[in-house]
Structure 1
């Protein structure tokens, strides 16, 4: 075991476990203000975003939680003027796209499950990969493979349905659509990290779902197994960049104790 690993271990029930203490003294009020002040900004100033800020925000986006650590996301920062002009048009020429200092296309990938499963085993952060972990990542590519015309998905769904009669079992993702949903969920978490990071740096964003996906796909040369989750416009908020006060419905509609 390396020196670094020894410094990050603790003994629990007689067994050596990895230990990463939770950081103390995080400013909750500062985080609250970051969340509260995040708005969908529809108009930006001409002020550029410093490269160091952009890189830091993207790096924080990549720290988002993700299913099985497979990180099924990509971020395309569209800088080339001709491509940026085409992207604006693909975003229906909405003001948030036209005035943004940066346009970032957030893409989910479903074709790198096997590759990244192997990568997880190669880059496992501890000296030894537990047998259970090895087996888990060896099986993941099969679990997430729908097969031609979802043929594998049908078989797996039936098998797990039978198993589910006697024990709790995972109920997917089986089909191609379910795998896309799986990738989209993790990518959306990274998008949230990204916009909050911009806000913490004093910049604002607009998470746009109004775009022509076919044109965006063609612009970026995306493979069939990749799809755009959203386009994020980022920049400095104009004085009239927020069009109206935020509307949120009653808490009771969404929060339940059961």
Structure 2
């Protein structure tokens, strides 16, 4: 007589079914790049709630490679407006948030995924995964690890092996962190809109100057500066328009 092992219980999380799609659509469709804000401040609790929603953005291996610098110091804020080329969106924003992608905390975040795993016992496969996943984004001194991975992956593909995206050179790791941080930026601006505030995602800035203002190291990369506040009546300069969807969507 054989006995069957009881399968281990799996975690289940039911998706809510009462989401108001019309309101969700309204948030997305009403989000605009606002170039002029009123003097009305964003309440601190609202800003914190929006930042918390930004941190819920999807991210590779839960490594969360981002930092959001909310500029409160008046001197730094004045310097940042200058670094943003004195754009009206920066000058009138009640809040300026610098969104930074980071490749300098991969090891730290991998360890946190083990020490802060949401169950009392960390599965062996999870420990193993987070022991090795940092090497996926590392390239080593003088790119030695990156060159090794490039050769190894090339040989594996000749054997018809399917392999994940990895960093063969430092710019690959920067791209990975930047893509992930941009997802969180989108969460942030949509959250602001849902709370009745607006934003402008700015790429027009003097990056070396922004880096100096925040004293960033060479593994911290400025993705964008977000100006946020209450939309002025004349804060949107032109109607929104998009090109024919056929130019962008392919069903293959």
For the aligned pair, the TM-score class normalised by the smaller chain equals over 0.9
The secondary structure found in structure 1 opposite 2:100 is strand
Residue matched to 2:49: 56
5+ residue gaps, structure 1, are 1-12
Which runs of structure 2 are paired with 1:203-214 in the superposition (5 Å)? 203-214=197-208
For 1:190, the equivalent position in structure 2 comes to: 184
1:156 Cα deviation from its structure 2 partner? 0.5
| Residue among 17, 23, 28 paired with 1:24 | 17
5 Å-filtered alignment, 1:208-247, equals: 208-247=202-241
Q: Whole-Å Cα distance in 2 between the matches of residues 38 and 142 of structure 1?
A: 38
Q: Deviations over 1:61-97 (max 9, x none)?
A: 0111101000000001101111100000000000000
* Conservation of the 8 A alpha-carbon contact between 1:47 and 1:236: yes
Aligned mate of 2:97, from 104, 121, 144: 104
What is the aligned-residue RMSD (CA, Å)?
Answer: 1.1
Aligned residues: 246
Number of the residue aligned with 2:71: 78
CA distance in structure 2 between the aligned counterparts of 1:78 and 1:242, rounded to whole angstroms: 24
Q: 1:150, 1:87 → 2: CA distance?
A: 34
Deviations 1:81-116 (A, max 9, x none): 111000000000000000000000000100100111
2:115 matched to 1:122? Answer: yes
Matched-pair contact (CA < 8 Å) for 1:203–1:234: yes
Whole-angstrom distance in 2 between the partners of 1:187 and 1:28: 25
CA distance in 1, matches of 2:171, 2:142: 11
Q: Which runs of 5+ in 2 are unaligned?
A: 1-5
Normalising by structure 1, report the TM-score: 0.93
Q: Does 1:44 align with 2:37?
A: yes
* 1:145-190, Cα deviation, whole Å (9 max, x unpaired): 1112222101101101111222111241221000000000110000
Structure 1 residue 142 displacement after superposition: 2.0
* TM-score when normalising by structure 2: 0.95
Offset at residue 135 of structure 1 (A)? 1.1
Aligned partners of 1:160 and 1:170 also within 8 Å: no
Residue matched to 1:180 = 174
Secondary structure at 1:217's aligned position in 2? Answer: helix
**1:35 Cα offset (Å):** 0.2
Q: CA deviation at 1:220?
A: 0.6
Structure 1 residues 205-251: Cα deviation after superposition (integer angstroms, max 9, x where no partner): 00000001101111011111101000000000011100001121111
Runs (4+) of structure 1 exceeding 4 A deviation are none
